[in-house]
Chain A
């Protein structure tokens, strides 16, 4: 299958030279389609010092269909659903926005960028987005507390 070859290649590249603050592993050595991503909270954001576990699932039609990214570690963020799924809303991952030429590395870097700079206009958690826009201080407090509670030493 063509997709496997490309996925293996991208995985090898990511393992060999990982982008800053991002560590990639296969969830299961025998399955190329589910990855575990360990992401460090970017410096200067309320998520700093936190270590977040993300799940990246690749469809068998990859690269023609986009991968999905979800947070396994709870996170207080306007663009991540506040439920068990922790799905992340990334513009480039929407089916009609996705291009086969996009790389997973770009997706991961984009996700980390979203931690540093949330996009309240593109939010899935409207309440957090409201708070982010109107009461930034309180948002940062809660986000920091959640990070301490869920993302440190886990």
Chain B
């Protein structure tokens, strides 16, 4: 957790820079990485990150250039991100951060030379130093200024840059483009284009036996009759191909049909066998079927007759089934009409009940209204004697109250309690 001053940091940089061969910032990243792993100054994943007091992290090199850029006033150097005045730098950043940066996949820096490796960034340096065969090395011959891929360096320290002549033409190929015993890609390419290479006529597949050097090929092709026929042959070939294809289709379909026929035959044989068994058993009581069986016995050897019999029996069973179904339907019909009637009866009863209830309610209402009407009449007849009239409507309602149900008592009792009691007692 010790911090060092900015000047110490600057001094460190010059030391560290020497042993760094691979520029980690120029590597092509293959995997995507989080934006937070990006140094805010160089916009690359952190390379040797350091931390400021404010917890902001930068590449050591970027921070150095930032410090030099603010060189005028090193004492009040501020964090490039948050502008907190900073004096000290911490070299320890969380290992997690380092690991995440080192784990980013990159391509080998020797990609242009042909190395296809994709490696974690942390291993690039060692891959480049020790394993990469495409790294360019100085030619062992001190007089030669060219560079050689590492894997071509020969143990005896020979210069591979001496041009050698192609065996057939006069073009020069460098020895480093050979590979021991095997022709390297460059040479192969050369052979593909070398005018001295003997090449068969393009019509060789149609039977032209001529083989000439590539340079003479053009003149031969002008006179070769098979090349003139070429398009016709092509068309014929195409036709043959398509015909073969249709034949194959037809064969397949034919197979399918044959299978189907075999199936049908086997089922027929089976059904005839079952029928024969049926006829021997006395289970069938249907006279019609009996007769059918009889006829079947007559022609049991005939294939066609058995099928007819089979169909007839099928027909019979179907008829039986239909009969059963119609039975079931009539049954259901009867049951449904019964249910309907039951329901109707119940409803009728209910209605009668309701009617009776309505009648009784009407009677009660009438009975309740009666005293009122009487009172009104009597009040109109004798307005001076309203108090004594109380007893009279109660006695008038007496007989009707006997017929009314018990609920009818509530109202008159409230109207004239004493008078009513007297009447009842």
In the complex, are the beta carbons of B80 and A5 less than 8 A apart?
A: no
In the complex, are the beta carbons of A64 and B81 less than 8 A apart?
A: no
| CB of A135 within 8 Å of the partner chain | no
| CB of B44 within 8 Å of the partner chain | yes
- CA of A84 to CA of B372 in the docked complex: distance in angstroms? 109
Interface centre among B43, B62, B70, B81, by most A CB within 10 Å? B43
Secondary structure class of chain A's binding surface, majority of residues: loop
In the complex, are the beta carbons of B70 and A100 less than 8 A apart?
A: no
Shortest Cβ distance from residue A99 to the other chain B in the assembled complex, whole angstroms: 6
Question: In the complex where A61-B69, A64-B66 touch, is A101 in contact with B41 (Cβ < 8 A)?
Answer: yes
In the complex, are the beta carbons of B83 and A64 less than 8 A apart?
A: no
| CB of B374 within 8 Å of the partner chain | no
In the complex, are the beta carbons of B41 and A100 less than 8 A apart?
A: yes
- By a CB distance below 8 angstroms, the chain A residues around B44 are 5-6, 9
- By a CB distance below 8 angstroms, the chain B residues around A65 are 69
Shortest Cβ distance from residue B37 to the other chain A in the assembled complex, whole angstroms: 14
In the complex, are the beta carbons of A100 and B40 less than 8 A apart?
A: yes
- By a CB distance below 8 angstroms, the chain B residues around A61 are 69
- CA of A77 to CA of B172 in the docked complex: distance in angstroms? 68
- By a CB distance below 8 angstroms, the chain B residues around A2 are 25, 41-42, 61-62, 65
| CB of A67 within 8 Å of the partner chain | no
In the complex, are the beta carbons of A64 and B61 less than 8 A apart?
A: no
Shortest Cβ distance from residue A93 to the other chain B in the assembled complex, whole angstroms: 16
In the complex, are the beta carbons of A101 and B69 less than 8 A apart?
A: no
Question: In the complex where A63-B41, A100-B66 touch, is A5 in contact with B25 (Cβ < 8 A)?
Answer: yes
In the complex, are the beta carbons of B42 and A5 less than 8 A apart?
A: yes
Interface centre among A5, A10, A65, A100, by most B CB within 10 Å? A100
- By a CB distance below 8 angstroms, the chain B residues around A10 are 43
- CA of A61 to CA of B65 in the docked complex: distance in angstroms? 9
Q: Which residue of B lies closest to A97 (CB)?
A: B83
| CB of B180 within 8 Å of the partner chain | no
Q: Which of A54-74 contact B (CB under 8 A)?
A: 61, 63-65
Contact of B40 among A5, A9, A101 (CB under 8 A): A101
- CA of A5 to CA of B65 in the docked complex: distance in angstroms? 14
In the complex, are the beta carbons of B81 and A9 less than 8 A apart?
A: no
- CA of A101 to CA of B83 in the docked complex: distance in angstroms? 11
In the complex, are the beta carbons of B69 and A99 less than 8 A apart?
A: no
- By a CB distance below 8 angstroms, the chain A residues around B81 are 99-101
- CA of A6 to CA of B25 in the docked complex: distance in angstroms? 10
| CB of B142 within 8 Å of the partner chain | no
Shortest Cβ distance from residue A41 to the other chain B in the assembled complex, whole angstroms: 30
| CB of B388 within 8 Å of the partner chain | no
- CA of A64 to CA of B83 in the docked complex: distance in angstroms? 13
Shortest Cβ distance from residue A46 to the other chain B in the assembled complex, whole angstroms: 36
- CA of A61 to CA of B44 in the docked complex: distance in angstroms? 17
- By a CB distance below 8 angstroms, the chain B residues around A99 are 40, 80-81, 83
Shortest Cβ distance from residue B112 to the other chain A in the assembled complex, whole angstroms: 17
Shortest Cβ distance from residue A136 to the other chain B in the assembled complex, whole angstroms: 36
- CA of A64 to CA of B41 in the docked complex: distance in angstroms? 8
| CB of B26 within 8 Å of the partner chain | yes
- CA of A6 to CA of B45 in the docked complex: distance in angstroms? 12
In the complex, are the beta carbons of B25 and A64 less than 8 A apart?
A: no
Shortest Cβ distance from residue A48 to the other chain B in the assembled complex, whole angstroms: 33
- CA of A59 to CA of B83 in the docked complex: distance in angstroms? 21
In the complex, are the beta carbons of B43 and A6 less than 8 A apart?
A: yes
Shortest Cβ distance from residue A96 to the other chain B in the assembled complex, whole angstroms: 9
- CA of A64 to CA of B63 in the docked complex: distance in angstroms? 10
Q: Which of A97-145 contact B (CB under 8 A)?
A: 99-101
In the complex, are the beta carbons of A6 and B66 less than 8 A apart?
A: no
Question: In the complex where A2-B62, A5-B44 touch, is A100 in contact with B80 (Cβ < 8 A)?
Answer: yes
In the complex, are the beta carbons of A101 and B80 less than 8 A apart?
A: yes
- By a CB distance below 8 angstroms, the chain A residues around B70 are 64
Q: Which of B34-57 contact A (CB under 8 A)?
A: 40-44
- CA of A100 to CA of B56 in the docked complex: distance in angstroms? 13
In the complex, are the beta carbons of B69 and A64 less than 8 A apart?
A: yes
- CA of A65 to CA of B66 in the docked complex: distance in angstroms? 10
Encode contact with A along B64-81: 1 for CB under 8 Å, 0 otherwise: 011001100000000011
Q: Which residue of B lies closest to A13 (CB)?
A: B43
Encode contact with A along B228-260: 1 for CB under 8 Å, 0 otherwise: 000000000000000000000000000000000
Q: List 13 A-B contacts (CB under 8 A).
A: A2-B25, A2-B41, A2-B61, A5-B44, A6-B44, A9-B44, A61-B69, A63-B41, A64-B65, A64-B66, A64-B70, A64-B80, A100-B41
Known contacts A64-B66, A99-B80, A101-B81; 16 additional CB pairs below 8 A are A2-B42, A5-B25, A5-B26, A5-B44, A6-B44, A9-B44, A10-B43, A61-B69, A64-B70, A65-B69, A99-B81, A99-B83, A100-B41, A101-B40, A101-B41, A101-B80
Q: Which 9 A-B pairs have the closest CB atoms?
A: A101-B40, A64-B69, A100-B80, A101-B81, A100-B41, A6-B43, A9-B43, A6-B42, A61-B69
